[in-house]
């Protein structure tokens, strides 16, 4: 007879575990009462995710957003998606015209909108806004053009200047150069980067100079522009242009082999966009990857520690920023390898590595649950403090959870989200083809 001498996995006490009875956004909300104390007066509640495109993460965010809107008066949902493209989604949830599939495909970037779970949330926002005294707005916080192409932002600026300064003609060569490395979808990113790298240096430099001159013109004439249009229209176009400048800086950095600047610049830019939203909205639900929302440096393999969006926001608004991190157990998750571009969108998610934050959460409860890290017993606090790494997708990264997060929600089993047929039908052919390779039932565009 042998005796198992392996150490017992660390776990949180039952007092620390707040079970979630359901992830159904339409379900009862009594099990979310812990949010009342956790949120307090925070103006920004960030809800992370371990990886993109998981059904359970979408549903969790939808459910928590409904609670925060209905019980605490939050008035904006801000997603890790393109800023300019998000104008379409915002118009739709506020009652605008348009097909839902088109809104999901073109109003949300990086493939984030191509899922029925995202469509369900937008539909709820639209229905809520029909009768709400204070409508809930949708905002994209990320760089447009799937973070690589300044074209969507540039087109928005050109359209604005046609109204604010009709006598002014934007140099057509600026748009022509930006069009060379346009990004129809996230699957186009490798080809777009290759196209940019093939541009002569003088064309790259001319694009950079042209964007800088546009920014100087808009800023120098802002009083006239605001008078001729509206302050809101000016501020939105100006923010789009600042993001176009950031995108240009990023693609230049990538072309010279400097990937670290891309990560630094992107998180700083999206934090600035959240601050921009805060000047318009009292309270925001912010949805992005754990690596962005955490108050801890993003630590990617082979890279120096990068200041995350969450670190920037904590510096900007302090205690008004609350972070809910999300850990996963097993199931299916976003495939971060090159196979993603060949249609293998998801991969198996193994049990988390012993000693990780995910492993601690897995050992603590069999079902979904929340744990408020700021209200733990001394023993539970020590268990969390002993953790030194977390899983982001299938990768592992150093972390101090008590510094990075305020609350953790654990999802023991995750699955791929359900593709939305109407959204895919409105997507570029490369998206439809790639999804058809992954989906067992064949093409979804029919």
State yes or no: pLDDT of 444 exceeds 50: no
State yes or no: pLDDT of 81 exceeds 70: yes
Of 286, 224, 276, 220, the closest CA to residue 246 belongs to 276
**Other CB atoms closer than 10 Å to residue 130's CB: what's the count?**
9
C-alpha distances in angstroms, 209 versus 30, 120, 173, 205, 214? Answer: 56, 43, 11, 6, 9
At 8 the pLDDT is 61
Pairing relationship of beta strands 284-287 and 321-334 according to DSSP bridges? unpaired
Q: Read off the pLDDT of each residue in 380-386 and give the average, rounded to a whole number.
A: 97
Per-residue pLDDT tens digits for 223-242: 999 999 999 999 999 999 99
State yes or no: pLDDT of 332 exceeds 50: yes
Q: Read off the pLDDT of each residue in 296-321 and give the average, rounded to a whole number.
A: 91
- Percent helix / strand / coil, the chain, rounded to 5: 50, 15, 35
Strand partners, 18: 370
At 336 the pLDDT is 81
Separation between Cα atoms, residue 230 and residue 238, nearest integer Å: 12
Separation between Cα atoms, residue 271 and residue 54, nearest integer Å: 24
State yes or no: pLDDT of 284 exceeds 80: yes
At 9 the pLDDT is 67
At 7 the pLDDT is 56
Q: Work out the pLDDT band at 340, boundaries 50, 70, 90.
A: confident
Of 156, 1, 73, 99, the closest CA to residue 421 belongs to 99
Tokens of 18: 């707040």
Least confident of 110-114, 380-384, 434-438: 434-438
Pairing relationship of beta strands 76-82 and 284-287 according to DSSP bridges? parallel
At 439 the pLDDT is 57
pTM score, two decimals? 0.94
Triad 352, 345, 24: Cα angle to 5°: 70
Separation between Cα atoms, residue 259 and residue 29, nearest integer Å: 43
Q: Work out the pLDDT band at 310, boundaries 50, 70, 90.
A: very high
Q: Read off the pLDDT of each residue in 424-429 and give the average, rounded to a whole number.
A: 96
Pairing relationship of beta strands 18-19 and 76-82 according to DSSP bridges? unpaired
At 443 the pLDDT is 42
Least confident of 22-36, 115-129, 207-221, 426-440: 426-440
User: Contact at 8 Å (CB) between 228 and 163?
Assistant: yes
Domain spans, the chain: 143-260
At 300 the pLDDT is 73
C-alpha distances in angstroms, 162 versus 122, 169, 217, 223, 237? Answer: 31, 8, 14, 16, 12
Average pLDDT over all residues of the chain: 94
**Residues contacting residue 54 through CB under 8 Å, at least 6 positions apart:** 328, 331, 332, 333, 334, 411, 414, 415, 416, 417
């Amino acid at each position: 007879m042998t005796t198992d001498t392996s150490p017992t996995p660390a776990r949180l006490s039952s007092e620390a575990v707040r079970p979630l009875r359901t992830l159904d956004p339409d379900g009862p909300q009594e099990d979310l009462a812990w949010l009342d104390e956790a949120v307090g007066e925070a103006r920004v509640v960030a809800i992370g995710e371990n990886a993109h495109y998981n059904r359970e993460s979408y549903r969790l965010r939808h459910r928590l957003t409904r609670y925060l809107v209905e019980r605490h008066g939050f008035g904006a949902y801000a997603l890790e998606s393109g800023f300019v493209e998000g104008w379409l989604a915002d118009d739709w949830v506020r009652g605008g015209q348009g097909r839902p599939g088109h809104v999901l495909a073109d109003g949300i970037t990086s493939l984030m909108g191509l899922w029925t779970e995202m469509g369900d949330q937008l539909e709820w926002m639209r229905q809520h806004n029909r009768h709400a005294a204070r409508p809930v707005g949708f905002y994209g916080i990320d760089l447009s053009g799937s973070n690589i192409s300044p074209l969507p932002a540039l087109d928005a600026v050109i359209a604005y200047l046609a109204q604010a300064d009709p006598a002014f003609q934007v140099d057509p060569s600026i748009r022509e150069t930006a069009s060379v490395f346009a990004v129809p979808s996230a699957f186009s990113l490798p080809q777009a980067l290759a196209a940019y790298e093939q541009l002569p240096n003088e064309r790259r430099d001319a694009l950079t100079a042209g964007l800088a001159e546009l920014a100087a013109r808009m800023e120098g004439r802002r009083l006239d522009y605001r008078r001729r249009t509206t302050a809101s229209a000016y501020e939105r176009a100006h923010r789009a242009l600042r993001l176009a400048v950031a995108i240009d800086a990023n693609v230049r950095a990538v072309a010279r082999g400097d990937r670290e600047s891309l990560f630094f610049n992107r998180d700083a830019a999206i934090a600035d966009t959240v601050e921009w939203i805060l000047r318009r909205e009292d309270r925001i639900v912010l949805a992005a990857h754990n690596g962005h929302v955490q108050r801890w440096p993003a630590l990617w393999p082979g890279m120096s520690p990068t200041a995350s969006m969450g670190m920037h926001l904590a510096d900007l608004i302090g205690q008004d920023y609350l972070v809910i991190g999300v850990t996963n157990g097993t199931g299916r998750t976003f495939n971060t390898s090159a196979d993603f571009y060949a249609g293998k969108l998801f991969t198996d998610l193994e049990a988390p590595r012993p000693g990780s934050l995910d492993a601690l959460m897995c050992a603590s409860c069999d079902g979904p649950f929340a744990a408020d890290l700021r209200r733990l017993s001394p023993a539970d606090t020590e268990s969390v403090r002993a953790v030194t790494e977390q899983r982001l997708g299938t990768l592992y990264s150093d972390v101090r959870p008590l510094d990075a997060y305020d609350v953790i929600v654990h999802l023991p089993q995750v699955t791929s989200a359900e593709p939305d047929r109407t959204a895919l039908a409105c997507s570029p052919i490369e998206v439809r083809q790639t999804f058809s390779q992954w989906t067992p039932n064949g093409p979804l565009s029919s």
